[in-house]
Chains A and B, each alone.
Chain A
């Protein structure tokens, strides 16, 4: 029956404008240290809070100094009791600017990444 074809055509017109890209989901909600902040004392870890639950085994946090050397210790770990939180330990930090680069896989299977800097005052 011809009207079925019309209905199918209308309903599946969506194929033509379906988005071509899959976009990121988990975004950085909060960070400790805060993005762009200046600290007076060095800290022992970086803690990130995301807007969605993340998979720790497929997420990473890298902290590097101004010369690009890694100052984080080991892998990023989940925090028990909060599926949207990750933390990574830090080596002893000297005054300077540091860059935090994070890549996460959210539990609903999407990847996202970002970075920010913080400073430790002399």
Chain B
């Protein structure tokens, strides 16, 4: 298994627990010193793990960017920290984590710690898939991602602390009160997770079919399934057990269900660790109005193959079409035959033209003489018969000018 996935998993889990425990502690009335000590120990341990795993992540990344061994990457680390967004965000988060650790050592949870925890948890949104979305659309997805992370910290991150409370000597009525408060937090968190999750899925997937067809989509489906299971367990907590508190049996049952939720939550975080290393399946095709004046170009990307299609010139008349085929790992896709079809904007079947492409020595497939009879959004279809495997059809809209 890819070491980066393991490091990301550990880092996310530790960050959520560190922040979530602080936020949970803010819900507590004055409690016994023993419980408070345990919560602070949990926070400090989580912070320590977050710092170490965060540093490991940065080092692995530097080695990957610079193309060197880990030892050499250590020497070349500083430019990566200062010259990449990931490095800069990591530095800020490290400062927050250290400041938080110092504060947690000296005093119980307070709003300042809560704010530092927020920075620690939410800032990674700037360097995820949402953060890499260019332009104004990126602001929306980053905001959604930050909300997503915060909600995860508030709910998932607080589960271990909640279990500690239940297992402690704390008075029954205090436990009942905190459970109700935490339940309300969890409810808001679930709504926020669902809403922000929808926003992100809409921007990262090309459509609902991706959930079955693509690697990224399938992982997302797994994440959703785990989340739904967590919801079911949480619902049992809320409607069944919470009202039975402060009875001891209910309290013990709640510990068990909380531990189940925690395990499921860790599963979700693990899937997220994998998702971040998988390309999102929705490949944003260029806006029809922003194609360059002369040639029309479109890049088509599916899990099986990618095609770069250039139509030169991209306006009414006769044009030459050049197609470059790739596999997802950027190597050329060897094909026995390639056909190229163009569907006009008006959707009249008889105006569709299909051509046989010829492979040139430079690896391009060329179609010599294609008639473009109208302006508008045509659909290109590249039908590839690969050397191995079944036929692949790649399609996408392309703008043809007047």
Residues of chain A at the chain B interface (Cβ within 8 Å) = 1, 4, 7-8, 11-12, 14-15, 18-38, 49-53, 55, 57-58, 82-84, 105-114, 116-117
Distance A30 CA – B5 CA, assembled complex (angstroms): 31
Which residues of A are found within 8 Å of B2, using beta-carbon distances?
18-22
Which residues of B are found within 8 Å of A105, using beta-carbon distances?
65, 84
Complex interface residues of chain B between 215 and 265 (CB less than 8 A to chain A): 215, 222, 226, 256, 259-260, 263-264
- Whether the pair A57, B83 counts as a contact (CB closer than 8 A) is yes
* CB-based A-B contact count at 8 angstroms: 158
Report the minimal beta-carbon distance from B327 to chain A, rounded to whole angstroms. 10
- Whether the pair A35, B277 counts as a contact (CB closer than 8 A) is no
Which residues of A are found within 8 Å of B299, using beta-carbon distances?
27-29, 51
Residues of chain B at the chain A interface (Cβ within 8 Å) = 1-2, 4-5, 61, 64-65, 79-80, 83-86, 127-129, 131-135, 138, 215, 222, 226, 256, 259-260, 263-264, 266-267, 270-271, 274, 276-280, 283-284, 286, 290-292, 294-297, 299, 301, 306, 308, 310, 312, 322, 324, 326, 328-330, 362, 364
Report the minimal beta-carbon distance from B328 to chain A, rounded to whole angstroms. 6
Among A4, A53, A84: residue with most chain B CB under 10 A: A53
- Whether the pair A84, B134 counts as a contact (CB closer than 8 A) is yes
- Whether the pair A84, B297 counts as a contact (CB closer than 8 A) is no
* Chain B: CB-nearest residue to A52: B132
Distance A50 CA – B308 CA, assembled complex (angstroms): 13
Which residues of B are found within 8 Å of A18, using beta-carbon distances?
1-2, 5, 274
Distance A18 CA – B138 CA, assembled complex (angstroms): 28
Pick from B138, B283, B310: contact of A53, CB below 8 A: B138
- Whether the pair A107, B312 counts as a contact (CB closer than 8 A) is no
Which residues of B are found within 8 Å of A51, using beta-carbon distances?
283-284, 299
- Whether the pair B267, A36 counts as a contact (CB closer than 8 A) is no
Which residues of A are found within 8 Å of B83, using beta-carbon distances?
55, 57-58
Distance A29 CA – B310 CA, assembled complex (angstroms): 11
Report the minimal beta-carbon distance from A96 to chain B, rounded to whole angstroms. 13
Pick from A11, A19, A35, A106: contact of B324, CB below 8 A: A35
Which residues of B are found within 8 Å of A32, using beta-carbon distances?
292
- Whether the pair B131, A108 counts as a contact (CB closer than 8 A) is yes
Report the minimal beta-carbon distance from B211 to chain A, rounded to whole angstroms. 17
Distance A35 CA – B321 CA, assembled complex (angstroms): 11
